[in-house]
Structures are given as C-alpha cells and as structure tokens.
Chains A and B, each alone.
Chain A
C-alpha cells in the first residue's frame, strides 16, 4: 500500500513540476524574445542619425552601450546596402556576423538567440541591426528550477513517509493487532482471550465489538458443554434403566423357561407313565387322547424353547469373524438332509462372509430346514442355495420348489408367531424366521422373501462385508 502511495505521489509531483517547467520554458522564451526585441528597437531608434549621417564612430559608440547587458554576445549595424557599418564587440572578426541581413524577427538555436531589426525613418530603410544574445539566463533559470523541483520532491517524499509512519501507528497497527488476536484465539481455541482496546475511536469500537462477540462465543460454549453434560447424564440414567429392564427381562425369561417347564415336564412324564403303566387297560380312544396330550405338551415345550432362544438372540452380542460359508452350509445340509426324500441339492459356490458364526449357523439351519419342511409334499424337491453381489453386499438365498406362500404376506413372515399354515399342515412354532430376522438385523443386514403359492419360495438375506478386510 505504501509503495502505491509513494508511486502515485511521485507521479503527481513529477507531472505537476513538468507542467510548470514547460510553462516556464515558454514564458521565459517569450520574455527573452521581448527583452531582446526591446533592446534592438532602442538601439535601432538611436542609430538612425548615425546611419543617416554616415557616422560610423557614433554608431559604434551606440552599440557599445550593449556592453551593459552581459548576455548580448554580438551586434552589428548594416547600412542600407547590407554592408556592415559598425560592430560590437569591436574585436570580433567580420566573419562572425551574418554575411547578409535576414528577415525581421528572432530565432532560437541551442545556445543563443539572434535576430534582425530593420532601422527605418519615415518608411525609408536606413539599415538593419543584427543582435545575438546567449541563453545563459534561461539555462540558469532552468537549473534553479530543476533544483527546486528535486528539493520539493525529496521533501514531499520524506513528509509522506513520516506521515504514513504516524498513520500506520494509529490506524494500521491496532487493526493488525486485532487481526492477530483473532488468529491466536482461533488457533488455540481459547475464547477467554480478549483484545486490548487502545483508542476511543472507530478502531476502539471494533475492538469492543470483537470482545463482546468473544464473550458470546464463550457463553455459548459454556452452555453447550453444560447441555452436553446434562445429556450425558440422561444417557447414563437411561442406560442404567435399560440395563435394569434387561436384567428383569432376563430373569423373566429364565423364570419362564424354568418355571413353565417344570409343570410341562410333569405333564409329559405323567402322561408317559399313564401310557406305559396303563397301556393295556386303555382303549384306542384313550390311547389316542394321551397321544394328543403328549403331542401338545411337546409342542408347548418347543414353543417355550423357541421363545427362549428368541429372547436370548435379542440380548446377545454378536462377535464377528470371517466365516467359511461354503463349509457351514455343507455341514448344515448334512445335518438337516433327509436322504429318503431324495432332495436335489444345488449349492453354488458361496463366498466367505463376515459375522457371528454361531448365529449365522442358526440362520442357515432355520432357512434350510424351512426349505426342506415346506417341500415335503412334492415329488422332486429341489433346493438351491447361492449368492450374488449387489451394491457391495453379499446376498445369499435359499430357494425351494415347495408349497410356497401367498406373496401378499411376505412382510408378516418374519414376525413372531406368524404362521401361514396350520400346525397340521406343517409343524413349527412361527419363531424360526423371526429369529433369522433378529440375527441378520444385528449383523446390519436385511432379510426378505419372495414366493408363489404352490410354486416354491426364495428366502434372501444380505450380510455387510468386512470393512477392514
């Protein structure tokens, strides 16, 4: 900024001085011509008699008067025939004067000004005056001018420099200090720092406003951290609440299993005793009745087990690891397969997956056993197991050509105790798919199904890949 000011200042000064210089040049030149012209006219008028009366001595004397004007270098009088009549200085050679007279007027050359003045008397030409003056005064004047100009420029630069230093102190410095404070505050994130107000002017007001803003920031920060603390507290409280609820639930499910099971066991065992001990005394109807009782109790036992499993699933944390999916599926099939049914297994190559091996095994077990169960009534059951990749996730599927289901219920399938068939058609408690859904959501994946009534169903689940693999 300073440099720009200096540059502009310098240019303005130079232009101004140049303008004055040029003006002075022209004015001085004009003045020089006028002065010389005046001198010439005086000499001319005075020398009319000398020329008229052919008095060369008198003419010389008249020209001698020019001695008083230091700058007149030479002069001479020509008679009416153009011959030199008298000259000044006397010592000068004739050749230093022009050979013949020229036009009236004055001409500047680099070092002098010379001219001719006609000498007339009553319209008669008596002769001509030639006069030459040096330009010493002019150059002298210009030298003086140049000196003054240089002096003025130097002084004004010095003044400008001093002024700018003073201004800098009172304007720039406080602003820079303020900017610096802001920078320090931002870097250190220390909002308790305040800028120092040094003056009562606009910069001072700025400093005040700045400090006020910092106060606000500090306060807001404080409020935020307080709020944060409150939140943390509330979270802690909720967590404690949740934990206690969880504990209650655990106790509850344990008690269910335990306490519900006991009577159930009783029913089963006593029914068995009845069958064994009094079998020969029971008629067919009675035997049928006991069988029904047994079946129902078994069923209830399964329900309880499944519920317990379901609740356990909800509570348990999963531990993710790399799973050899192909091997897992193979072993599951081996366990579940019923060779008499001659199920055709079409297992594609399955990629490894990332998840909790125990629960994922449960998923495979549930899905594959479902596929087997619901293809019981068809002649050539085919179960296809495969996978594909979509949007960076592995999607596995189990497809059967069994009884299928009405696709309009595909949402309901995964809810607890939802069954689309009666227990007489297909056994089951309706918890299996809910368990699958719970496990897969815990892994961050999704389950869904598609089917056609009477033409089979396909169950899909996605498992997110290991991000750190």
Chain B
C-alpha cells in the first residue's frame, strides 16, 4: 500500500493526491453519512448524490476511487468538477478550493439558499459563511463547523459529527 502511494507520488502530481487530500476526500465522502439534506432535494430514492470541487482539484482521481460503486442511503455518488459558480447545477457537497478572500465570499454568497454543504481549507471560511473548514491539529485533520451557516442552508449535521468538530464562534477571532 505504501509502495503504491510512493509510486503514485512519483507520478504527475496532478493525477495523484497527497495523503492529506486523500484523507480529506474520505472525509468528504463520510460527511454524507452525517448530514441531512431537505427531503425535497432528492427527486427519488436512487437520485445521484453529487460531491463537487470548485476551483483547482487537489484530490486527483482519489474522489472517484473512493466513491466508485458506493451508495449512500441508496444514492449513488458522483463527482463533478466546476471551474466557475455558474457551472454548478445539482450539487450536495461542494469543496471550494479558492484562496482569494473575495472569490470565496462571492462563491459563498452565490450558494446561499442552495442546500449545499460547503467545505474548504481556507482559514476564514466559517467567518464568511462557509460551513465546514478543514484544519490540522497534532498531525490530525480536524473540522470546524459554522452551525449557523448550516442551519441557514436548511441542512442538519448529526451530533455525532458535531461532537468531533470545533464549533465556530462568530464572536471570537478564529
């Protein structure tokens, strides 16, 4: 497994994902088990659940790999890559890979009322209304959750996930 990983990393960086992003990809998939979307969002029980990446794709093929053949509550999982906001049609989880603050704000603003779980690495993500932020602590990937934003999007995050997360407090300077 380790050899494969090494070999992977020797290949074109664009094709492979770092260990960190592999884990984050797994997290993205796992989020599907702990988030509830409004009932209306799935036209049927077998409608596809979409995980999207906005901006540059840091995951390589990894997302496809881990979601291949996987079903979440009967929903098959598909991965979409978006270059811009307008391209987003049906999406349930969106990983926003922008670093510029204004682009970030723009995107978030655009996604209001869309019932999409927004995830990012960006440092101030929750402050701008982003829902979940990845950060690293003690060599482990942790998440920070902006529960207001989640609620605003009519999404429900399971307490099981929330207990693992750091809750974003808007009064503090995160």
Give the CA-CA distance A58 to B142 in the complex, in Å.
11
Give the CA-CA distance A264 to B120 in the complex, in Å.
188
Does chain A have a CB within 8 A of B30? yes
- A122 B163 Cβ-Cβ under 8 A: no
Q: In which size bucket is the chain A interface? A: 10 to 19
Question: Which residue from chain B places its CB closest to the CB of A46 in the assembled complex?
Answer: B160
Q: Nearest Cβ in chain B — how far from A274, in angstroms?
A: 180
Give the CA-CA distance A58 to B23 in the complex, in Å.
18
Does chain A have a CB within 8 A of B161? yes
Q: What DSSP secondary structure best describes chain B's contact surface?
A: mixed
Give the CA-CA distance A195 to B3 in the complex, in Å.
115
Give the CA-CA distance A45 to B161 in the complex, in Å.
12
Does chain B have a CB within 8 A of A269? no
Per the 8 Å Cβ criterion, residues 100-138 of A in contact with B are 121-122
- B161 A49 Cβ-Cβ under 8 A: yes
Q: A121-B33, A122-B71, A122-B73 are in contact. Are A49 and B140 (CB under 8 A)?
A: no
Q: Nearest Cβ in chain A — how far from B20, in angstroms?
A: 13
- The 13 listed contacts between A and B (C-beta, < 8 Å) are A45-B160, A46-B160, A48-B160, A49-B30, A49-B158, A49-B161, A49-B164, A53-B27, A53-B161, A54-B140, A61-B163, A122-B33, A122-B73
Question: Residues of A contacting B163 with CB < 8 Å?
Answer: 49, 58, 61
Does chain A have a CB within 8 A of B42? no
Per the 8 Å Cβ criterion, residues 1-50 of B in contact with A are 23, 27, 30, 33-34
Count of A-B contacts judged by CB separation below 8 Å: 36
Q: Nearest Cβ in chain A — how far from B138, in angstroms?
A: 9
Question: Residues of B contacting A45 with CB < 8 Å?
Answer: 160
Does chain A have a CB within 8 A of B85? no
Contact with B along A32-53 (1 / 0, CB 8 A): 0000000000000110111011
- A52 B33 Cβ-Cβ under 8 A: yes
Q: Nearest Cβ in chain A — how far from B139, in angstroms?
A: 11
Question: Which residue from chain A places its CB closest to the CB of B33 in the assembled complex?
Answer: A121
Q: Nearest Cβ in chain A — how far from B66, in angstroms?
A: 11
Question: Residues of A contacting B34 with CB < 8 Å?
Answer: 49, 52
Does chain A have a CB within 8 A of B72? yes
Contact with B along A372-415 (1 / 0, CB 8 A): 00000000000000000000000000000000000000000000
Question: Residues of B contacting A50 with CB < 8 Å?
Answer: 160, 164
- B161 A122 Cβ-Cβ under 8 A: no
Give the CA-CA distance A50 to B71 in the complex, in Å.
20
Question: Residues of B contacting A259 with CB < 8 Å?
Answer: none
Which 7 pairs of residues, A with B, have the shortest CB-CB distance? A49-B160, A52-B30, A55-B164, A58-B164, A49-B161, A53-B164, A49-B164
Question: Residues of B contacting A48 with CB < 8 Å?
Answer: 33, 160
Question: Residues of A contacting B73 with CB < 8 Å?
Answer: 122
| Chain A residues near B (Cβ < 8 Å) | 45-46, 48-50, 52-55, 58, 61, 121-122
Q: In the complex, how many residues of chain B place their beta carbon closer than 8 angstroms to a beta carbon of chain A? A: 17
Q: Nearest Cβ in chain A — how far from B26, in angstroms?
A: 8
Q: Nearest Cβ in chain A — how far from B45, in angstroms?
A: 14
Q: A49-B30, A53-B161, A55-B164 are in contact. List 6 more A-B contacts (CB 8 A).
A: A48-B33, A49-B160, A52-B33, A52-B34, A58-B164, A122-B33
Give the CA-CA distance A45 to B163 in the complex, in Å.
13
Give the CA-CA distance A291 to B36 in the complex, in Å.
180
Which of A48, A52, A58, A122 has most B Cβ within 10 Å?
A: A52
Which of B71, B72, B140, B164 has most A Cβ within 10 Å?
A: B164
Q: Nearest Cβ in chain A — how far from B134, in angstroms?
A: 11
Question: Which residue from chain B places its CB closest to the CB of A54 in the assembled complex?
Answer: B140
Question: Which residue from chain B places its CB closest to the CB of A123 in the assembled complex?
Answer: B71
Question: Which residue from chain A places its CB closest to the CB of B74 in the assembled complex?
Answer: A122
Give the CA-CA distance A54 to B138 in the complex, in Å.
13
Question: Residues of A contacting B158 with CB < 8 Å?
Answer: 49
Give the CA-CA distance A120 to B72 in the complex, in Å.
13
Give the CA-CA distance A61 to B162 in the complex, in Å.
14
Question: Residues of B contacting A58 with CB < 8 Å?
Answer: 163-164
Question: Residues of B contacting A122 with CB < 8 Å?
Answer: 33, 71-73
Q: Nearest Cβ in chain A — how far from B71, in angstroms?
A: 7
Give the CA-CA distance A55 to B142 in the complex, in Å.
8
Question: Residues of B contacting A61 with CB < 8 Å?
Answer: 163
